[in-house]
Structure 1
Amino acid sequence: MKKFIFLFFTFLCTSLAFSEESLPSGYRNIKLGMTLDEVKDALKKDYQFGYRGERDVSLMPDHQKILIETDTSRTAPSSFLDKCWFQFYEDKLYIITINVKPTRMDHYSIFSTLSKKYGNPGNINPQKSEWSNDSVIMTLERPLTLKYTDKKVYEKLMEESLVQNTAQEMSAQAFLEGL
C-alpha cells in the first residue's frame, strides 16, 4: 500500500511539473522571442490573424517598443480571433495578446481546455487565470483574452519601471522639502 501511495504521488508531481514546463510560448506559428520580421512573415502566412501589412505596425513612445495590432473584422470574419496585439522590446516579441470572439467561443471552454492541458492555474481570481513557468506567463482574462508573456523580459521591464518611479518619488520629495 505504501508503495502504491508513493508511486501515485510521484506520478502526480511528475505530471504537474510536466504540465507547467510544457506551457506554449505562443499561438500557432507566432512565438515569444521572434524578431519583428519573423512575426510579420508568420502573420502574412496565417489569415486567422487578419494582418494587413505595414499599416498594422506602429512605434510606441518608448523607441525600443514596437506594436503590431491586427483586426479580423474585415480581413478574416470567420476567424475565432478578434483583435490581436504583438508587443516587441529590443526587436523581440515579448507579449502576445489575443482577443477571442465571444460570438464564436466562450470563456469556460477555453479555461477547461487550458486546465486539462496545463493543469490548474497557479493564480486565479475573478478577472483572470494564470499559468506560468520559468519563461512564460500565460493568462486567460475576462471577458475573453488570451495572453502570452515572456516572463524574463516582463520582470526586467518591471524592475526598470520601479527604478524610474523611485527616482521620480525622490525628486518629488526633494521638491516638497524645498518649499
Structure 2
Amino acid sequence: MNHVAREGMTKAMKQGSGPFLCMMFLLMFFLMFLTPGERISSQEVLQRGFRALTLGLPFETLQDRLKEDSFFFYRGEPDVSMHLTSGEYVIDVRGRRYLERGLFQFHQGELYIITLYPNRQLLDYFQIFERLRSRYGEPRDLDNRRAFWEDGTTRIELERPLIVRYLDLERFLERRQERQIREALEDVSREQFLESF
C-alpha cells in the first residue's frame, strides 16, 4: 500500500469516520492496481499477417490470394523457389506502390514467416512504428535496430531500415531448435574428422 493511502486510512480510523471510509480507501487502492491490467487487456490480439495473407495458410491458398492482392505482382511459378537442404518453400514476389517486395516462407506446406519490404520513398520506419504501437501498445522489445510485439502465438518485428516480419512463433521456435541441433551435429562431425589427422 502506498504512503498516501496508508496515511488517509489511518486518519479516517482515528477520526472515527467508521468502516465506510475504510472501505472507500481499500476500494481506491484496489482500483489503482486494476487499471493497468485493463489497459493491457484492451490491446488487440496481434494480426497474423498482411491483409488476407496470413500465417498458417497452405501453399496453394496463398498463391491464389497473392494473385488477387493489388499490392503484389505475383507471376506464379517463376516467383517460387525451394531450399533443398531444409525442404522450405519460399515465394519471393515483387510489390506494388507501398510495397517493394514480399517473401513468404513455408515449412511442411504452411506459411510461417511473412517478410515485407515497404517502399522507403513513400513510408518510413517511424510511421509504421507509430501505427503498430497505437494498435498493440509498447513493443515487447526495442533497440536501435528493431522493435517487436508478441502475444504467445505471433510475433511482429519491425526492423531498420524498413522491414516488417510476421512470424508463427511455435513453428519459428521449432525450426530454430532444429537448426541448432543440426549445427551441433555438424560441429561433432567436424571434431571427429579432425581427430583423423
After TM superposition, is the score higher than 0.5? yes
Give the aligned partner of residue 161 of structure 1. 179
Residue identity over aligned pairs, in percent, reads 29
1:93 lines up with 2:117 in the alignment: no
Give the aligned partner of residue 27 of structure 2. 3
Distance of 1:63 and 1:156 partners within structure 2: 13
Distance of 1:55 and 1:151 partners within structure 2: 29
- Greater relative contact order: 1 or 2 (C-alpha under 8 angstroms, separation 6 or more)? 1
Give the aligned partner of residue 167 of structure 2. 149
Per-residue CA deviation, residues 25-69 of structure 1 (Å, 9 max, x unaligned), is 001000000000110111111121221222111122236211111
Distance of 1:18 and 1:89 partners within structure 2: 33
Give the aligned partner of residue 49 of structure 1. 72
Give the aligned partner of residue 129 of structure 2. 111
Check the 8 A contact 1:64/1:91 in 2, yes or no: no
Counterpart pick for 2:55 among 20, 28, 32: 32
Distance of 2:123 and 2:183 partners within structure 1: 40
Unaligned runs of 5+ in 1: none
Distance of 1:89 and 1:153 partners within structure 2: 8
Moved more, 162-171 or 143-152: 162-171
Unaligned runs of 5+ in 2: 1-24
Give the aligned partner of residue 68 of structure 1. 91
- Residue 27 of structure 1 aligns to which amino acid in structure 2? F
Distance of 1:67 and 1:177 partners within structure 2: 39
> TM-score, length-normalised on structure 1?
0.89
Give the aligned partner of residue 15 of structure 2. none
Let me know the Cα RMSD of the aligned residues. 1.7
- Residue 49 of structure 1 aligns to which amino acid in structure 2? F
Distance of 2:105 and 2:71 partners within structure 1: 18
Counterpart pick for 1:58 among 56, 67, 81: 81
> TM-score, length-normalised on structure 2?
0.81
**SS of equivalent to 1:114:** helix
Largest Rg, 1 or 2: 2
- Structure 1 residue runs of 4+, over 4 Å off? none
